[in-house]
Amino acid sequence: MSAAPPLSRLSVNQETIKQWSLPELAEGCAKEGVTSVGLWRAPVQAYGVERAARLMRESGLAVTSLCRGGFLTDTAGAARARALDDNRAAIDEAAALGADTLVLVSGGLPPGSKDLAGARERIADGLALLGPYAEERGVRLAIEPLHPMFASDRCVVSTLGQALDLAERFPARQVGVVVDTYHVWWDDQAPAQIARAGAGGRLHAFQLADWITPLPAGVLLGRGQLGDGCVDFRAFRDLVDAAGYDGPIEVEIFNEALWERDGAEVLRETAERFRTHA
């Protein structure tokens, strides 16, 4: 087993400590020695994009990713136009924050549709329009495959293989993939697909969260703290390292029990678990 990664590779996603405001996140990370964060659009917009960018710079925090763009599967003309406009805005926000990666959650099936292949093709059509726009602004689009339980309503891209099939239609400097352990830990093809992503220069982000059961109602908030579930994080980290990825390792956990605790305690625990398990 490889050695634990240095703390400098840890990026704490904003949602892991959702109870904190952006200033509290910046202050807490400074106290804990965490130098990178992943941000979400809604709280950043509420705080103000330029104001948030200034706070990150003044706090010495690198923004490793912005979440999220995507939702590109609509068939209706007006809805699709709105989705494309929203993704352009997300790209602009990522650029303003200094984040070189915009995470894409591709979108589920449109109401009444059962056409998975058609939905995936509309994602490719959207990427063809958004990829050059993102590249002009120094931002990479990163397709995140989600666990198959989310295929109907959130993401018709369920495996790294499917994500790479889409990404490889475009230059790697425009479109790559996210490896999120919560979503791909179960897939026996994940090791080969991680190697494929690395060989093509498409490993744009690496995220950690544990898989714990039973899942809560609604399942979305079922991500576990590192070490509380069944994911072998060190094995995944060895795979992405071997594929040539040496970037930030982002801990992204949606869990109401964590949100009810003291934020400083959660951050400290997350850093400790990162040292032990990543």
Residue 1 pLDDT > 80, yes or no? Answer: no
pLDDT of residue 11: 98
Residue 218 pLDDT > 90, yes or no? Answer: no
pLDDT of residue 140: 98
Give the pLDDT confidence of 128-179 residue by residue, as tens digits.
999 999 999 999 999 999 999 999 999 999 999 999 999 999 999 999 999 9
pLDDT of residue 74: 94
pLDDT of residue 217: 87
pLDDT of residue 28: 98
Distance CA 199, CA 165 (A): 14
Give the pLDDT confidence of 226-273 residue by residue, as tens digits.
999 999 999 999 999 999 999 999 999 999 999 999 999 999 999 999
Percent composition of the chain: helix, strand, coil (DSSP 3-state, to 5): 45, 15, 35
Give the pLDDT confidence of 63-112 residue by residue, as tens digits.
999 999 999 999 989 999 999 999 999 999 999 999 999 999 999 999 99
**Of 35-39, 48-52, 220-224, which gets the smallest average pLDDT?**
220-224
Residues 115-137, mean pLDDT to the nearest whole number = 98
Distance CA 103, CA 143 (A): 6
For the chain, what is the mean pLDDT? 97
How far from the centroid of its chain's Cα atoms is residue 278's Cα?
Answer: 17
Distance CA 73, CA 156 (A): 9
Query: Using the 8-state DSSP alphabet, how is residue 119 labeled?
Result: H
Give the pLDDT confidence of 14-35 residue by residue, as tens digits.
999 999 999 999 999 999 999 9
